[in-house]
Amino acid sequence: MSIKIIIISKLEETRLKVAAALESEDIYIAGQFKDGASALSRIESVDPDIVIMMLDTDESDVFATSERIYMNRPSSVVMLITKNMDVDVLQRAMKAGIRHVIPWKRESQYLIENVRTVYNEESSHRDALKGEQSLGHTSKVITVFGSKGGSGKTTIAVNLAVNLAKKKKKVALIDLDLQYGDANIFLNLETNDTLDELIQGYADFDIDTIRNYMKTHSSGVHILIAPKSPEYAEFITREHVEKLINIIRPYYDYLIIDVSASFDDITILAIDSSNLILMVTGLDVSILRNSKISLKVLESIKQISKVKLVINRDSKGSISVSDVEKILQCPIAAVIPSDWKTVGTALNTGIPFVQNVKRTRAGAAIDALTKEVIEFRPVIEKKEEE
């Protein structure tokens, strides 16, 4: 499905520049107009997702047109692009019902990402208006764990998060692999606003502060990135992480947590806070042995009932999926094929494979996992009577 767009700008040159910058397979330009008067009937007939307006010469027309769209066509959202981002412009935009004002930049990728982010945010908002979203009481916290390094935890956490966002879920991803977290690499996101910076900068953080430190991926996933270097991990305590999870969880449908391969304090806390633990395992003796030991640990800390297995790198070998089921005696949420080409290319380009236009075997497996996750209903634990 493509994002339908109408462009309005007085200057033909600008209209063409914007249209060219937005050339992408998920974007469809449904029309370009010089002013609101000529655009309104087209907006009426094609019902665009986004109307992009350039604030160039005649300002009054821009705000008047936005107001009409806001009042009469709430399904189309206005995105204002301006070279002068001042308080006056922002105030007038707010009055005209424009929630998205972005500064003009030539780079195509910047524009495309802004368009996708606006589209994703507005889709969730529309669903919420239809009553299809909850206010957070059902939010699910999912830790993707696996006791062997390199088993595919981050690959699965990232692709699951993006796939849930594609299904209009509000998703946060926290990278709690504090020493070597690399989830941002899988999403091609770089920033200095990392988890340790947040914690060092704000002793008493709230959701707004946390959001300032989250990066938004084009899919709509909000991600809190791990420290840039292992020594910064020491600034982050169990208490910090507990507070972080508690603050974030009511604002999202899904909170996906990527962790390291060890049972450290932070991983145990993530596991403890989760409704669902996806334990990544595989089809070789070494990983199965590790998984068996981990399951015993999870049993001893009373977390075993939350565990589902994800068997990664499935290929025809001497150990089969049903052997794993017998050995580990745990329900299986998904089986992901070994698919070096798809998974490796995704990592190298920073584009999660669930965003590939062409359907892949790995993508289909993540689709199945996403379905499992959506259909999963957490067991509500009854508090014991004191």
Ligand X SMILES: Nc1ncnc2c1ncn2[C@@H]1O[C@H](COP(=O)(O)OP(=O)(O)OP(=O)(O)O)[C@@H](O)[C@H]1O
CB 178 within 8 A of CB 258: no
Among 136, 150, 230, 317, binds ligand X (CB under 6 A): 150
CB of 243 to ligand X, least distance (A): 24
151 binds Mg ion (CB under 5 A): no
154 binds Mg ion (CB under 5 A): yes
Which span sits near ligand X by CB under 6 A: 119-127, 196-204, 281-289, 343-351? 343-351
CB of 266 to ligand X, least distance (A): 13
**Which of 133, 126, 204, 155 shows the shortest CA–CA distance to 310?**
155
CB of 177 to Mg ion, least distance (A): 5
Instruction: Write out the two tokens for 325.
Output: 């089921």
CB of 145 to ligand X, least distance (A): 9
**Residues in CB range of 122: below 8 A, 6 or more apart:** 49, 50, 77
368: amino acid identity, one letter: A
Residue 150 touches which of ligand X, Mg ion, none (CB < 5 to 8 A by kind)?
A: ligand X
123 or 338, CB closer to ligand X?
338
**Which of 343, 336, 333, 223 shows the shortest CA–CA distance to 279?**
333
Binding-site string for ligand X from residue 242 to residue 271, where x marks contact by CB under 6 A and - marks none: -------------------x----------
Among 312, 328, 369, 370, binds ligand X (CB under 6 A): 312
Rule CB under 6 A: which residues touch ligand X? 146, 149-155, 177, 261, 312-313, 336, 338-340, 343-344, 347, 362
Rule CB under 5 A: which residues touch Mg ion? 153-154
